[in-house]
Amino acid sequence: MDQGNDHGGDLAQAMGLFGGTTADWIDLSTGINRVPYPAAPASAAALRDLPGRAARDRLIGAAQAAYATDWPVLPLAGAQAAIQLVPAIAPPGPVRIVAPTYNEHAGVLRTAGRDVQAVEEAQALAGAALGIVVNPNNPDGQRWAPDTLRGLADRVGLLVVDESFADPHPELSVLGGPCPDNVLVLRSFGKFYGLAGLRLGFALGSRALLDRMAARAGPWPVCGPAIEAGTQALADAEWRADSIARLADDAARADALAAAAGWPLVGGTALFRLYDTGDAPAARARLARHHIWTRIFPYSAKWLRLGLPGTPAEWARLAAALRA
């Protein structure tokens, strides 16, 4: 499962290979919504003052409402910040991760000296001291029913469910049920809301688990502008519903374009799609010549992951590139 720690979202490689400036490129190498929430500019107070408890509590309340849960919430600087804290709270013993998946889960644990075993199905996590599953999974979109994961929790020491791409798929979340003592759920704010630069995410779980994480995260793990924008966005139920509907339509639109280009669908979510291109490096280069950057993976010679365009002009460029 050694996938390296490569990531999408950095255009330096694209420009080095295919030229252009940042403004020339459409970056579809991530699963970040390219129609971001129209957050208001940060207030002077959010920039000037240390984040206070009242503002943090408002953010927590907005997150609980948006995720339809009463689980305790710990705001952090992105889901990645929560991933970095998992080794510190994980019990000793076998570690298993459903793979292939987001490479930082294994990378962080290996850096902490843990042996990590890759498994293909969530049920294979049973018996592990620490089990990790991304639902829906990145990059193939594999998904598990919440009841399946809740039942699995009884057979794992600590079960981490990474729901970073679950916002457009709320039916997949385990957060609708009771909060077990040994389940930690990770949520990303930046992906669905298209504001990844704010670095905001959440860990949800028992108060005992979150208290251990909070002690290591420090007194101000989230900045004032992120708290302000996050509270505003999470409270906007109309925008959320409209975006879920639009993303579902856009995913189908991308699949139709890819199918016409001869790329069958492997899987995906409403924020990204994964295609079997036959030759992933060649497929990426084909789009890159039109200054469209995508994601390929060191463990597959065929898979290309495609984020969804945001504007009509971006859709037109993608369609033209796939026809060329």
Domain of 202, CATH number, reads: 3.40.640.10
Query: Do 62 and 174 reside in the same domain of the chain?
Result: yes
Number of separate domains in the chain: 2
| Closest by CA position to 237, among listed 70, 68, 85 | 68
Position 54 scores a pLDDT of 97
pLDDT recorded at residue 4: 44
Q: Which domain holds residue 222?
A: 44-235
Residue 5 confidence (pLDDT): 54
198-213 pLDDT, tens digit per residue, is 999 999 999 999 999 9
* Cα–Cα dist 132/265, whole Å: 25
State residue 221's pLDDT score.
97
Whole-number Å distance between alpha carbons of 78 and 221: 10
Assess whether 178 and 81 both reside in one domain.
yes
Query: Domain for residue 29, yes or no?
Result: yes
pLDDT of residue 113: 97
Q: What is the pTM of this model?
A: 0.96
CATH number of the domain that residue 15 is part of: 3.90.1150.10
> How confident is the model at residue 128, as a pLDDT?
98
CA 271 to chain centre: 9
Positions of the chain with pLDDT under 70? 1-5
pLDDT of 1: 36
pLDDT digits (tens, 9 = 90+) for 213-241: 999 999 999 999 999 999 999 999 999 99
Domain final residue pick, 235, 266, 301? 235
From residue 205, alpha-carbon distances to 128, 152, 179 in Å are: 19, 16, 6
| Contact call for residues 292 and 254 (beta carbons, < 8 A) | no
**In terms of C-beta density within 10 A (0-12 exposed, 13-18 middle, 19 or more buried), how is residue 157 classed?**
middle
- Among the candidates 186, 207, 235, a domain finishes at 235
